[in-house]
Amino acid sequence: MNSTQEKTITVIRTRVALQQQVRVWKAAGETVGFVPTMGALHAGHLSLVEKAKETASRTVASIFVNPTQFAPGEDFDTYPRREAEDLALLEGIGCDAVYLPGVAEMYPDGSVTDVRVNGMSDLLDGIYRPHFFYGVATVVARLLLHAQPDVAIFGEKDFQQLQIIRRMVRDLGFAVRIIGGETRRDADGLAQSSRNLYLSPEERQVAGAMFAALHRAAVRLSLGAKPADVRAEATAHLLRSGFRSVDYIALVDSDSLIALPDEVALTTGSARLLGAAWLGRTRLIDNLSVTR
């Protein structure tokens, strides 16, 4: 776009203005697809916006680096913020509006209401980041109430987050359909993530081992290998490749996220293999569906 062209994306900074815009669209018979993000957008995010465009006549993305999902000492302050670039990308793919609330808009002064999806939030990543999914559920509930979408899209890359949001929406009766968007990967399989920006060039060379280890494990499981053996092999693969430590490699039930026993019979779509590991100072997560 050159500087003389009109901007086509509407930038909205308050809940009231967003609700007003959505009301106008819905009164005209339009449907709204919503893609919540924390910005630093990459092709993975843009594919979620494309999916929203396929399922609804209007598309809204939000960009909000949510303080309640970061613990003290985590990367809230250094999390990449690239508002101008993000707006240009969203505009380029025809997103209708972007919601850019400030902290006071999402957490009005004196706000004390949290959303907790108990149990599922305390497994897997929840063991290593105990605050994380409570912050996510709280902000996503608020974002859904602000945007009132018909459909909301979340990436499968954050599979535990996606399943927790599905559960929250079901439990609280939000009138929104949650859709998972397929993980976008670089040529070596690395799942696209805003945090990949933290990787040094040397670490980036190694990072594809996360996908390679999980993929090999998923194939071995589908051929009948024992989950315990496969988890040990995947962990060894990552450490041998240069990862500093492995938080977990876990085979879980896709819906409940509860670990599957070693003797379980796998059926289509019922099992998910998830991994989290540290490469230098960057924590990478990824997951794959496992079928026998």
List the catalytic residues.
45
Q: Binders of ligand PAF among 97-136, rule CB under 6 A?
A: 136
Binding to ligand PAF by residue 158, rule CB under 6 A?
Answer: yes
Minimum separation from the CB atom of position 157 to ligand PAF (A): 8
As measured in angstroms, the least distance from the Cβ of 37 to ligand PAF is 5
Assess 140 for contact with ligand PAF (CB under 6 A): yes
Residue with tokens 């396929």: 54
- β-strand 58-63 against 97-99: which pairing, if any? parallel
**Total of chain residues touching ligand PAF, rule CB under 6 A:** 10
286 interacts with ligand PAF by CB under 6 A: no
Judged by beta carbon, residue 51 or residue 231, the one nearer ligand PAF is: 51
Q: Binding marks (x or -) toward ligand PAF, 66..95, rule CB under 6 A?
A: x--x--------------------------
Tokens of 249: 């490699």
Q: Which helix (H) or strand (E) holds 290?
A: strand 282-290
- Ramachandran sector of residue 169 (left: φ over 0; alpha: ψ -120 to 50; beta: rest): alpha
- Minimum CB distance to ligand PAF smaller for 161 or for 287: 161
Amino acid letter for position 44: G
Q: What is the CA radius of gyration of the chain?
A: 20
Which of 153, 159, 182 has its CA nearest to residue 60?
Answer: 153
Contact in structure between 134 and 116 (CB atoms under 8 Å) = yes
Residue from 46, 139, 141, 207 binding ligand PAF (CB under 6 A)? 139
| By CB under 6 A, residue 37 contacts ligand PAF | yes
What is the C-alpha separation between 39 and 161, in angstroms, rounded? 17
State the residues that interact with ligand PAF by CB under 6 A: 36-38, 66, 69, 136, 139-140, 158, 161
